Amino acid sequence: MILDKDGVNMRNNEKKLGIYIHIPFCKAKCLYCDFNSLPCRDDFVPAYFNALKKEIAFYAGRLNGYGIKTVFIGGGTPSYVDAHYIYEVIAHMKNLFDMGECREITIETNPGTLSIDKLTAYRSMGINRLSIGLQAWQNRLLSQLGRIHKVEEFVENYNLAQKAGFENINVDLIFGIPGQTFGDWAETLECTAELEPAHLSCYSLIIEEGTVFGTRFERGELVPVEDELDRRMYWHTIEKLKSLGYKHYEISNFSKEGFECAHNLIYWKEREYVGLGAGAHSYFSGRRFNNVYGIEKYISTLSQGCLPVENPIDISKEDEMSEFMMLGLRLVDGVSAKEFEERFERGLLDKFGSQIESLLERKLIEVDNGFVKLTRLGLDLANQVFIEFV
Ligand code: SF4
């Protein structure tokens, strides 16, 4: 047994993999949400989980030689469905995949869908990381977002999760909500951090086309927050959470030491993962591809004995190098020139010298002890940096 760079146990010649499982069911559709999720479609649940198990069986032979290091059960609201569905999926994977060294199994949950029985069941099936979508501390903002819960339910569910033995809890928060004041956001951060979750994800709200918020915005009924306020909220987040002992390790993610999300690090380090479930994306065996988006099509394709995969794209060495930069620069530590050279057998400056020079001149990146990373300005204008590497 050897340890790799992230401290993960590796057997000789073993390739490591993350598994993402998409559960597209929710109690109600939040007004800003453009995820692949269906409200109140409990009628699809049994057939969907049967299809998922078929998809897992499809991959059994294809994943020989791979050790599953992380599993992320996301959605949708995976905690909306009965816990036995989740149990069956995990048990099926344990039977068919090499899960012996899996160190992190996360489930996404929402307040109002958890109980002590459900949480205890999750623990007993090996789930060791819980992600709870709180979004805001003020009930008026939760209602404006179309969330199903109040802050009191979040606190109750958070305490239940701790009682069930969860130590690794993430809380999702959103800033830049129309109508949210700086004081609201400061209170959200303050009150959430008081509970001392191991991890916090803080995303700026994006008004997406095709959502209720998107339509209201087009009609002029919804006014987005000013950029200046959005950035003030972002920088307050960084300063406040740092002062409370959180490590800012990715543009929008903060953790107590050692509690970085191992699954998301697989994405940001441009490593392999397989996505199972409707619309899930994969990066596997030199290709990116996704599953069909529609839940009915996903179920019917698998029931006909076919994999529901579409849009395969071969990732060339050149693509891989670009992606490595775009994803790696999301990490606050940045991209290691040494790691780039070891992985691609080519110097970072040799490949991206002109881009790095231009970004240095514009003060969007800096070079620090062999790492290329975003500056303070670069954190605000990250998309301008990523585009240089396309
Ligand atoms: S709970 Fe999450 S996935 Fe479901 S509708 Fe709301 S934002 Fe979307």
Domains of the chain: 2-268 (3.20.20.70), 329-390 (no CATH)
The answer to whether the CB of 308 is under 6 A from ligand 1 is no
The answer to whether the CB of 63 is under 6 A from ligand 1 is no
pLDDT at 337: 97
What is the CA(41)–ligand 1 centre distance, in A?
A: 14
> pLDDT-based confidence at 235, cuts 50/70/90?
very high
Rounded to a whole number of angstroms, the CA Rg of the chain reads 21
pLDDT at 7: 44
Give whole-number Cα distances, 385 to 355, 358, 364, 372, 381, in Å. Answer: 9, 10, 7, 12, 7
What is the CA(30)–ligand 1 centre distance, in A?
A: 5
Q: What tens digit of pLDDT does each residue of 372-381 get? A: 999 999 999 9
Q: Whose CA is nearest to atom 2 of ligand 1?
A: 76
Q: Which long-range contacts (CB under 8 A, 24 or more apart) does 179-184 make?
A: 179/140, 179/141, 179/144, 180/136, 180/138, 180/141, 180/225, 182/229, 182/232, 182/233, 182/236, 184/136, 184/137, 184/138, 184/141
Region 224-245: mean pLDDT is 97
Please determine, for residue 388, whether its predicted confidence score (pLDDT) is greater than 70: yes
Please determine, for residue 220, whether its predicted confidence score (pLDDT) is greater than 60: yes
Q: What tens digit of pLDDT does each residue of 42-67 get? A: 999 999 999 999 999 999 999 999 99
> pLDDT-based confidence at 12, cuts 50/70/90?
low
> pLDDT-based confidence at 13, cuts 50/70/90?
low
The answer to whether the CB of 77 is under 6 A from ligand 1 is yes
What is the CA(381)–ligand 1 centre distance, in A?
A: 27
Backbone φ, ψ for residue 178 (5° rounding): -55, 130
Question: What pTM was computed for the model?
Answer: 0.95
The answer to whether the CB of 203 is under 6 A from ligand 1 is no
Region 104-130: mean pLDDT is 97
Please determine, for residue 9, whether its predicted confidence score (pLDDT) is greater than 80: no
The answer to whether the CB of 35 is under 6 A from ligand 1 is yes
Q: What tens digit of pLDDT does each residue of 244-293 get? A: 999 999 999 999 999 999 999 999 999 999 999 999 999 999 999 999 99
> pLDDT-based confidence at 4, cuts 50/70/90?
low
More confident residue, 40 or 301: 301
Task: Return the percentage of the chain with pLDDT > 90, whole number.
Answer: 96
Please determine, for residue 8, whether its predicted confidence score (pLDDT) is greater than 60: no
What is the CA(362)–ligand 1 centre distance, in A?
A: 38
What is the CA(37)–ligand 1 centre distance, in A?
A: 7
pLDDT at 1: 42
pLDDT at 70: 98
Q: Whose CA is nearest to atom 6 of ligand 1?
A: 30
Region 229-233: mean pLDDT is 98
Please determine, for residue 213, whether its predicted confidence score (pLDDT) is greater than 80: yes
The answer to whether the CB of 76 is under 6 A from ligand 1 is yes
Query: H or E stretch including 324?
Result: helix 317-328
Which residues are CB-neighbours of 108 under 8 A, at least 6 positions away?
72, 73, 74, 75, 76, 77, 78, 79, 131, 133
Q: Whose CA is nearest to atom 5 of ligand 1?
A: 29
The answer to whether the CB of 26 is under 6 A from ligand 1 is yes
Write down the mean pLDDT value for the chain.
Answer: 96
- Peptide bond preceding 258: is omega within 30 degrees of 0, i.e. cis? no
Specify the ligand 1 atom closest to the Cα of 110. 1
> pLDDT-based confidence at 351, cuts 50/70/90?
very high
Region 68-93: mean pLDDT is 98
